[in-house]
Homo-oligomer: A and B are copies of this chain.
Amino acid sequence: MSKYVYMFSEGNGSMRELLGGKGANLAEMSNLGLPVPQGFTITTEVCTKYYNEGQVLSDDVKEQIFEALAKIEEMSGKKLGGTENPLLVSVRSGARASMPGMMDTILNLGLNDEVVEVVASLTNNPRFAYDSYRRFIQMFSDVVMEVPKSNYEKLIDEMKEKKGVKLDTELDADDLKELTKQFKAYYKSVKGVDFPQDPKEQLMAAILAVFRSWDNPRAIYYRRMNDIPSSWGTAVNVQSMVFGNMGYDCGTGVAFTRNPSTGEKKLYGEYLMNAQGEDVVAGIRTPLSIQELEKQNPEVFKQFNEICKILEDHYKDMQDMEFTIEKGKLYMLQTRNGKRTAVAALKIAIDLVNEGKLTKEEALMKIEPKQLDTLLHPQFDAKELKAATPITSGLPASPGAACGKAYMTAEKAIAASQKGEKVLIVRLETSPEDIEGMAVAEGCLTARGGMTSHAAVVARGMGTCCVAGCGDLVVDEENNCFSIKGKVFHEGDVLSLDGSTGNVYDGAIKTVEASTGGDFGIIMAWADECRALKVRTNADTPNDAAVAVRFGAEGIGLCRTEHMFFEADRIMAVREMILSKTVEGRKAALAKILPMQRGDFEGIYKALEGRPATIRFLDPPLHEFVPHTEDEMKVLAEDMGLTLADVKEAVDSLHEFNPMLGHRGCRLSITYPEIAEMQTRAVIEAAINVNKEMGWNIVPEIMIPLVGEVKELSYVKDIVDATAKAVMAEKGVEIEYMVGTMIEVPRAALTADEIATKAQFFSFGTNDLTQTTFAFSRDDAGKFLGDYYSKKVFEKDPFASVDQIGVGKLIKMAAAAGKEVRPDIKLGVCGEHGGDPSSVEFFHNVGLTYVSCSPYRVPLARLAAAQANIKNPRK
């Protein structure tokens, strides 16, 4: 029979896949002899089995659970539901990868009307017993029975009001006993049955709820955001309860071995006496700094410090731990590698190398590439900041500067963001439901909660600026407004937040680029030493090119020339070209564009300081350039000496049923070779001019888009070659140049051997290749991708992370065929996937030469490329 349940003593830290991170680490801590309450782990395989079998637990699993429970009962001398020495347990999720707050937890399980009295009398602490029971009813209702917790919170608030107290801790045993009555009555009014009294029934229901929570919408969303496969499943940990809420010699806390915000090597954390873990995390009471513990209980503090050292040395990484003090005795409830800000991630990595605990390679592997983004985001302009006076401040929960319009719900923030607004989320406190709103926000401001509150943890993970626990902030959800020190703000009002200081400003403050030196520079230098894949950038302007160079780009992998066609000073000429019915007419219009386009390229070449640039010829369908309002058409008609009807007809004739699959890319150059002529001339002339002026040796790379057949490339290449030859003859200068193609149509990948005979380089356009390989229009897929995620047909957005199975197969085939025909072929990627870490790893493994991504993604790609090469070194 398969083993589905492991006692903590049976597992160890390497069994993360089977036991989940929490379970494996609890087992490991047990093995290290640390004080861990007894318990057992139901494996991740059971989760998969549960889903495969129609969301039920099989009898053999149940049997093993009860066996393990019996062992805990035996070891502890306590019994679940026992009336002599009752056992209470926690039931907690624990996936292979940490998914903080995404799944569910139930504490104090085993309490019922009878047991609560036994606990009260055994502990001689009826207040504790009823506090635990009311918590259990609340949590079990919410998590297992879908009776929202907030309704119970109202009853507590009413009770506090009635008693004239402010804090939960000020309620006495009788108040809490009364509350449990009210809770149970409320439960029955909603569910129509009594609150479950059988502890084993409670246990099985709680376990099922944890497995169910693996597929709740926020967990699905989190997995998609973090590349976690749905097939991994979660484990469930059932552990004897220890109590931080038995009185003021009890407490509970969360701590990090180093500062997760700055990386400083100093114990960092928070705790609350007479509380359970949820109180610390939920941010309802503001906790104390872990350093206070030294005064309150020096012995426990010393023991805790020793444990921290043991754990950090053991795991060779900064640890994030949960602990509880029960009647003065310390228990460890969890340890894991701690989430950290990007700044902290870099500092900790460098410190651990300097402390001799890690090699550079190991240190690089500890840094999440996506986090680097934070470091690159603008900070406030120093001068404006100096002039500004904060209206209040809160906890500096996640660094960075943000400025935007304030919205008070995730939905509104998302809606405004979709309209192009920069938004801030302002909330009493955040909860997992707010995660999508936080993802689109520039920053987040909360009234409640500490540095380990939900808002703070999530914002740091996302690299979003966050100011938490801002006591001056009064949120009035009913009236959609909030006030700070009496000044009322409405939704849409602009605030500025400094997540590094916690300061909040009224109105907008200018932001400036982040610096890229210091720890960042050290880590990037290590990454560059370790990687094999080059990193270029997608940039269409000298400014973007310069930013990218500063971030370490080794050239431009994709310069889209169509963006230049839209600029105000040339769009009329572009429209003239499109509306001309003769080659001469088009050539005349193109002649007007030539000097401007040449200027564009000169600017870009200079910004690149001699680095290479791949310039893609005109790609979009021409209808994107023509006016679609009657007023604009009139202007164009006048300008060209045409009637409005002529212009309308011409514009109508450009209509396409499926423009994505229409007259675009190299198809334009085949119909209108004069466009390719002009663009070649602009590229070659610009290179000659800049080479001459700067003494450089730029080798232009001309890229033909949307090729699916070698003869398409060949036709356009002939034009390029003839034009280049003519330009060089005119200028009396010979320069080298390359002609290559995008591989963005399946047929190009399938016939890459033929295409490589004419292409000196391939650049995989993974955006379009994804569209055509899936037959998904990116513009339309939104209508059904939601259903795809919710029905688990897709786990990831194939436009965010490259589909390694299907699209990846085409890339592999094409790369191999290209190299076969032309061993020195240059292979790159210029889709947005070039800035996605798991995609970068794939591109490394496939043997590409470079990835190209947006300027702000360049550092990410450098680190991801290094990690890929550390995992799978390129020969």
Contact = CB atoms under 8 A, between A and B. Distances in A.
A781 B783 CA distance: 26
Interface string A713-751: 001000000000000000000000000000011110011
A746 B773 contact: yes
Nearest to A714: B793
Interface in A803-820: 803, 805-807, 809-810
Given A787-B670, A787-B671, A810 B661 contact: no
Interface in A623-678: 656-663, 667, 670-671
Interface in A669-709: 670-671, 706, 708-709
Contact of A810 (B750, B779, B788): B750
B658 A779 contact: yes
A660 B754 CA distance: 28
A774 interface: yes
B712 A793 contact: yes
Most chain B CB neighbours (cut-off 10 Å) among A670, A706, A746: A746
A788 B774 CA distance: 26
Contact of A658 (B661, B708, B788): B661
A793 B670 contact: yes
Contact of A708 (B659, B667, B774, B787): B774
B708 A784 contact: no
> How many copies of this chain does the complex contain?
2
A302 interface: no
A768 interface: yes
B777 A662 contact: yes
A620 to B, nearest CB: 13
A772 interface: yes
A776 interface: yes
A446 to B, nearest CB: 36
Contacts of A670: 784, 787-788, 791, 793
Interface in A747-786: 747, 750-751, 754, 768, 771-777, 779-781, 783-784
Contacts of A66: none
Nearest to A713: B793
A248 interface: no
A711 to B, nearest CB: 5
A792 interface: yes
A803 B746 CA distance: 13
Given A662-B780, A667-B784, A750-B810, A711 B771 contact: no
A715 B658 contact: no
Contact of A792 (B711, B747, B774): B711
Nearest to A657: B779
Contacts of A777: 656-658, 660-662
A791 B715 contact: yes
Contacts of A806: 708-709, 746-747, 750-751
Contacts of A805: 750-751, 754
A775 B661 contact: yes
A656 B781 CA distance: 9
Nearest to A788: B670
Contacts of A662: 777, 780-781, 783
A744 B773 CA distance: 10
A261 to B, nearest CB: 40
A578 to B, nearest CB: 13
Contacts of A773: 708, 745-747, 750, 772
Contact of A771 (B661, B663, B706, B754): B661
A628 to B, nearest CB: 14
B787 A747 contact: no
A805 B787 CA distance: 36
Given A670-B784, A806-B708, A768 B775 contact: yes
Contacts of A745: 773-775
B659 A661 contact: no
Contacts of A751: 805-806, 809
Contacts of A660: 657-658, 661, 775, 777
Contacts of A788: 670
A854 B662 CA distance: 27
Given A670-B784, A784-B663, A791-B670, A775 B711 contact: no
Most chain B CB neighbours (cut-off 10 Å) among A712, A776, A793: A793
B661 A776 contact: yes
Nearest to A670: B787
Contacts of A787: 670-671
Nearest to A771: B661
Contact of A809 (B657, B750, B774, B775): B750
Given A768-B775, A794-B711, A780 B747 contact: no
B750 A780 contact: no
A655 to B, nearest CB: 9
Contacts of A750: 773, 805-806, 809-810
A793 B712 CA distance: 6
A742 B773 CA distance: 15
A36 B129 CA distance: 118
A775 B706 contact: yes
A747 B663 contact: no
Contacts of A747: 773-775, 803, 806-807
A708 B660 CA distance: 19
A618 to B, nearest CB: 14
Interface in A252-309: none
Contacts of A810: 746, 750
Contact of A775 (B772, B781, B794): B772
A133 to B, nearest CB: 41
A776 to B, nearest CB: 6
Given A746-B746, A788-B670, A663 B783 contact: yes
Contacts of A776: 661, 708
Contacts of A781: 661-662
A709 B807 contact: no
Contacts of A709: 774, 793-794, 806
A438 B153 CA distance: 84
A658 B750 CA distance: 24
Contact of A659 (B658, B712, B768, B774): B658
A429 B777 CA distance: 50
Contacts of A774: 708-709, 745, 747
Contacts of A792: 711
A665 to B, nearest CB: 8
A141 to B, nearest CB: 29
A659 B779 CA distance: 10
Contacts of A768: 775
Nearest to A712: B793
Top 5 A-B pairs ranked by shortest CB distance? A661-B777, A658-B777, A747-B806, A662-B780, A657-B779
Given A657-B780, A661-B775, A744-B775, 14 more contacts: A656-B780, A657-B659, A658-B658, A658-B660, A658-B777, A659-B780, A660-B775, A661-B777, A662-B783, A663-B784, A671-B787, A708-B806, A746-B772, A747-B773
17 contacts: A656-B777, A657-B659, A657-B779, A658-B777, A658-B780, A660-B775, A660-B777, A661-B776, A671-B784, A715-B793, A745-B775, A746-B810, A747-B773, A747-B806, A750-B805, A750-B806, A754-B805
Interface of A: 656-663, 667, 670-671, 706, 708-709, 711-712, 715, 744-747, 750-751, 754, 768, 771-777, 779-781, 783-784, 787-788, 791-794, 803, 805-807, 809-810
